[in-house]
Amino acid sequence: MLEYLLESSGLMKVKISGDYLLLNYDKNVVSFIDALKTKKINEIKIDTESLNKWDSSLVTVLCDMIQTTNERKIKVDLQNLPEGLQRLINLAFSVDRKPTNKTDKTKQHPLIALGNFSINLVNTVKSGLSFIGSVIHSIGRLISSKAIVRKVDLMFALQDCGYKALPIVGVISYMIGLILAYVGSIQLQMFGAEIYVASLVGISMVRLMGAIMTGIIMAGRTGASYAATIGTMQVNEEIDALRTMAVPVTDFLILPRIVALMLMMPLLTMFADIIGILGGATVGIFMLDLSPAEYWTKTILSLNLKTFLIGIFHGFVFGCIIALCGCYYGIRSGKNADSVGKATTSAVVSSIVWIIIATSIITIICIKLGI
């Protein structure tokens, strides 16, 4: 039950007692809100020592009260509220449903612009490292069987980034292998070395191209899906609900997607390698008049275990990058549709950029190690 008393000094004392539940309709609420809007009030103090059970109806009343007091600039003391009630009220008023206004086109001094850019860059790096740290911590809990992960979520993620991606990966890989063989044959025919088309396509696909093309495809397909899905959950306030229920968001939403893509990318890379070699064989057999046995023999002789493992390692790294970028931009998405679109775009672009950077780093390391 809600009771209030307005003193002559402008101090309103509000006492909430008993069980404040939705089933117990409180008639004093209407007069209380009207008093907030019409009476001269300087400060409000709330007493909840006698409050027992409560539900969302009390949260609604207090939110209406705070909204009215903010409009009238009335001081409210919320220190005596239960901790859970304070968290819900803070969460309700922390949501910004309006898109940010960036119409200010006032020119800044170059030093100020550089300083703002540097601050934003440092904050972005800190945020990214914090996210990666939380993911690593979550993986550690998964290994120790302490993470809150549903098996159905992991299986659904494996299905989404597994066999459902085979058609698009197969088509693109086949065309890449065909193109590599055709372009390479133009030069090799000048020296009468058409048979080396098999080596060219085999090494290119297995060592690098299969993993890169699969990574780019999955960045546009699965990485964008991760960002859009988690971003939409931000808009619908589902993630806020999970946090309110004390469910670890990293364990529940992000971990299944990252684990699934880390497991599936090496397998998809192997599939892309095989289909790419078939594409090269199409050119070698039907355009260069090479015999199938001769083409396959040359392909097998040109490959070794190191080449195969390097390609698989590329796929594993690309899977980590795509999953991290997709989940990171999704979890940091705003509360409107425009923010979800920007998060999806940023996830795809960042994934592709980091794939190229990772490829360069791995290539340099392989050269230094003589692999």
The pTM (predicted TM-score) of the whole model is 0.69
Phi, psi of 75 (to 5 degrees): -75, 130
Rg over alpha carbons for the chain, rounded to the nearest Å, is: 30
Domain ranges of the chain: 2-94, 151-369
Cα separation values, 253 from 149, 196, 334, Å: 8, 48, 17
Which of 234, 176, 231, 179 minimizes the C-alpha distance to 208?
176
Each residue's pLDDT tens digit in the chain (371 positions)?
777 777 777 788 888 888 777 655 566 777 777 777 777 887 888 888 888 888 878 888 888 888 888 888 888 877 778 888 888 888 877 755 555 555 455 677 788 888 888 888 888 888 888 888 888 988 888 888 887 888 888 888 888 888 888 999 999 999 999 999 988 888 887 787 778 888 889 999 998 899 999 999 999 989 999 999 999 988 888 888 888 888 888 888 889 999 999 999 999 999 999 999 999 999 888 888 888 888 898 889 888 888 899 999 999 999 999 999 999 999 888 888 888 889 999 999 999 999 999 999 999 998 888 87
Answer CATH for 2-94 from 3.40.50.300, 3.40.50.1100, 3.90.550.10, 3.30.750.24? 3.30.750.24
